[in-house]
Amino acid sequence: MRYTGSVNFILWYLFIPLLILFYVCFLFWSDQNYSNNSIKELVSRKVEVTNNHSSIDGVIIGGSNAMFGISASSLEKFTKLKWINLGIPGEGFSDINYLDFISKTIDPERRNNISYVIYSSSTFFKENLRPELQLDLYGKKKISYKPQRSLASYIKSSLGFNQKREFFLSNTYGDLDFSGYDCEIIPTIEINKQHFLQKEDLDIWLPMQLSRIVNLFPNAEIIITLPNGFYKNNNKRNKILKEINKILSSYESIYGRYIHIESQKPYPSSDLMCVDYWHPNEKGREWRTKQLYNVLANSKK
Amino acid sequence: MKILLLWILGAVFFLNFVTNTEFKIEFALFPFLFCYSFIILFRFFPNKNFKTFVAYLLFFSTSIFTLNNILLPLTGSINESGYIFLYGFPFYTATVAYLLICNKQVNLLSALKITNPLLLATGPIVLFFKNYSYRRLHLRINYYLPFFIVGLFLFQTVGAPLVPAFKLIEATDLVGSILFAVIFELFVYMNFCGLSLMLYGVFGIAGYKIPLNFKQPFSSKNIIEFWRGWHITLSAVLKILFYEPIRKHSTPGIALLVVFFASAMWHGVTLNFLIWGIFHASVFIITLFFLKRNINIIPTIILIIGVIFGRLIFADSNTDRLLDKLLFSYEGLGAFNTILSLPNITKVSLVIGFNLVAIEFFFRNTKILKKRNYKHLRTPLALAIMLIITIFLIDQGTINYAVYGQR
């Protein structure tokens, strides 16, 4: 028992305080060394792409579904207008982050000349509105009592076990370059996009987001697209579409310009999908972009 | 002064770390003013009948508010009321009701104790708040810090990563429903018990003893013992407000039915809670029947069934889906695929959680577990292991919320 007592003493007065000290040091280290290189690189290359264009006619904005699913280069071919794709993963992790990124990336003069904005957002599919400013543009969280990543995941990465897919970007339009991207469907990745924003949340969020976009692009027609995956349409989707239409029709007259909602049809085949059943591959992107072009063509009429 | 400081510290802590929505000082101030106004009211109207009436009104005010959707039913998912003034309402109204029925003296200091924002966010119901400052600080740290570490481990490392498994709530087949109920039971235990232990530790170190809300409920042989260890403060309130007065004029069966009905209504006025109340009252009465005849094995089986099916009913306030689940249709073992598709951290937490419960249950008669105060987890070796596991697994990806708070 005497030996047990001394072991307990060492554990309680030496080992446990050392563990706590180690943890505090790890917290600061994790905060200082957080890097989401793939997103950082993607964002900086989107800025580079935008700077290479002296004038832009149309811009695609939104989250990963816009980045994977809409091609600026194809739209340019169809419409003979200059397009860029500014979709980034997680849509900047908050609306304020993302719209701030856009306003800094395209200067006001070029924004004034933009005629079309296609906004493809996953926010419509969130059960609750995402909180503002909890994460930065690259997904880094504010320092708290929890580290940015777990120690286990750092160890796993250092041993080469983390299979993180890097994003590749073609330089001219901001489109994703699928040639270097492994699109194999991972069955364990399950993205449930059958939930939709509650009406109360939609009534708050959509007008707010719309006014932000309208202010950023004062002369553009705005096409909001309700993305889809390889899922069947359901009643909830039709219901939210009606609600969105109601909101948009009232704001169209306020802002005095064309604001339209397009509900994307589900992808017709799983062969058009990449990694999961929400994001398309190159073929899926072409399929969706053509659909969008039809909407644009109709809007011109 | 110290109580006021603790109150302010509690508010500041929540302001920065715990709440999921933006915390406003009104959240904390309103409960205090509410409780204090009642204290003043009863100085002017000390009539006993009036006090009793108000006590029951306060207790059932939670039910009335859930009926109107002002407060949300307590199913265990993230429930945050849009009415900021109702922050922690079920807890402080239950405390005031309890104090009124017990005829305890209350003053300004009591209001500050009852409405400490830390306690309002997580429970327990503050039945007492004893000064313990006469013990030296290092002795208090030696005794109470382990409770905090155990609580942190249960809440953060085991409970929080289980949230991704909640998608199983959609499953209406027998296997899926049971799997969800089992995991959800584990989550509620780890979350609520973890937070209660953390607060027990924090207030203990600060020099105040508050109720220990959980006492190893899974170290039980039957459902009666289980309820003696689960959400003890609510049981105490129910006993004083309902069981004892009704038992004077009626049979234990009827008294139990009323107790579980009242408990169900405190959680929210929905069909699932009504069924849950009747179900648990029946399980309790059946257990009593067997125990009176010295049959011990059947109550243990009933305990397992009662806890799992009780949670199945408790967790789902969607009536149509719940009724589908109660058809118990067998549709294969597909639900296990959902478990396999969960993040690794969730699977690790499931394994740790089930092991902790298994230790509580199978070793309940050993010396270290017999007192039912988590002594087995408070040994330096266990604490060191828990800290190592926590340091390895903790990250910002998990969702933290108090399952019994922030309605």
Query: Could A16 and B387 be called an inter-chain contact, meaning their C-beta atoms sit closer than 8 Å?
Result: yes
Across the strands, what pairs with A119?
A61, A224
Identify the domain containing residue B58 by its residue range.
Answer: 1-407
What is the model's pLDDT at position B2?
A: 82
Which tens digits make up the pLDDT trace of B85-98?
Answer: 677 888 889 998 99
Distance from CA of A23 to the nearest CA of B (A): 6
Counting one residue from A and one from B, how many pairs have CB atoms under 8 Å apart?
A: 63
Query: Could B380 and A20 be called an inter-chain contact, meaning their C-beta atoms sit closer than 8 Å?
Result: no
Q: Is A163 on the interface with B (CB under 8 A)?
A: no
| Segment among A151-160, B8-17, B37-46, B100-109 with least mean pLDDT | B8-17
What is the model's pLDDT at position A187?
A: 62
**Among A18, A133, A146, the residue to mutate for chain B (most B Cβ within 10 A):** A146
Residue B55 has pLDDT above 60, yes or no: yes
Predicted complex ipTM: 0.79
- Using CA atoms, how far residue A216 sits from A2, A47, A101, A250, B113, in Å, is 73, 17, 11, 20, 51
Contacts of B397 in chain A (CB under 8 A): 150
What is the model's pLDDT at position B69?
A: 77
Contacts of B391 in chain A (CB under 8 A): 19, 22-23, 26, 151
Query: Could B384 and A16 be called an inter-chain contact, meaning their C-beta atoms sit closer than 8 Å?
Result: yes
Tokens matching residue A94 = 């908050």
Distance from CA of A79 to the nearest CA of B (A): 42
Which residue is closest to A189 within chain B, CA to CA? B341
What mean pLDDT, rounded, does chain B reach?
A: 88
Residue A255 has pLDDT above 70, yes or no: yes
Q: Which residue has the higher pLDDT, B40 or A252?
A: B40
Tokens matching residue B147 = 């409770």
Provide, rounded to the nearest whole percent, the portion of chain B with pLDDT above 90.
51
> What does the pLDDT average to over B180-198?
94
Query: Could B391 and A16 be called an inter-chain contact, meaning their C-beta atoms sit closer than 8 Å?
Result: no
Contacts of A145 in chain B (CB under 8 A): 17
Q: Is A192 on the interface with B (CB under 8 A)?
A: yes
Distance from CA of B391 to the nearest CA of A (A): 6
**Long-range Cβ contact pairs of A147-150 (< 8 A, separation 24 or more):** A147/A26, A147/A27, A147/A30, A147/A31, A147/B394, A147/B395, A147/B396, A148/A30, A148/A31, A148/A34, A148/B395, A148/B396, A149/A30, A149/A34, A149/B395, A149/B396, A150/B345, A150/B392, A150/B393, A150/B394, A150/B395, A150/B397
Contacts of B17 in chain A (CB under 8 A): 144-145
Which tens digits make up the pLDDT trace of A119-149?
Answer: 999 899 887 777 666 788 888 888 878 888 8
pTM of structure: 0.82
What is the model's pLDDT at position A195?
A: 77
Which tens digits make up the pLDDT trace of A152-173?
Answer: 988 988 887 766 666 777 768 8
Query: Could A148 and B387 be called an inter-chain contact, meaning their C-beta atoms sit closer than 8 Å?
Result: no
> What does the pLDDT average to over B363-383?
94
Number of domains in chain B: 1
**Among B336, B394, B406, the residue to mutate for chain A (most A Cβ within 10 A):** B394
Contacts of A8 in chain B (CB under 8 A): 379-381
- Does domain A35-300 fall under CATH 3.40.50.150? My reply is no
Contacts of A149 in chain B (CB under 8 A): 395-396
Distance from CA of A155 to the nearest CA of B (A): 9
Query: Could B392 and A26 be called an inter-chain contact, meaning their C-beta atoms sit closer than 8 Å?
Result: no
Say how far apart CA B104 and CA B38 lie, in whole Å: 13
| Segment among B45-49, B62-66, B200-204, B280-284 with least mean pLDDT | B45-49
Which tens digits make up the pLDDT trace of B251-307?
Answer: 989 999 999 999 999 988 888 899 999 999 999 999 999 999 999 899 999 999 999
B235 Cβ contact list (under 8 Å, min separation 6): B227, B228
What mean pLDDT, rounded, does chain A reach?
A: 85
Q: For residue B380, give the nearest of A8, A151, A187 by CB distance.
A: A8
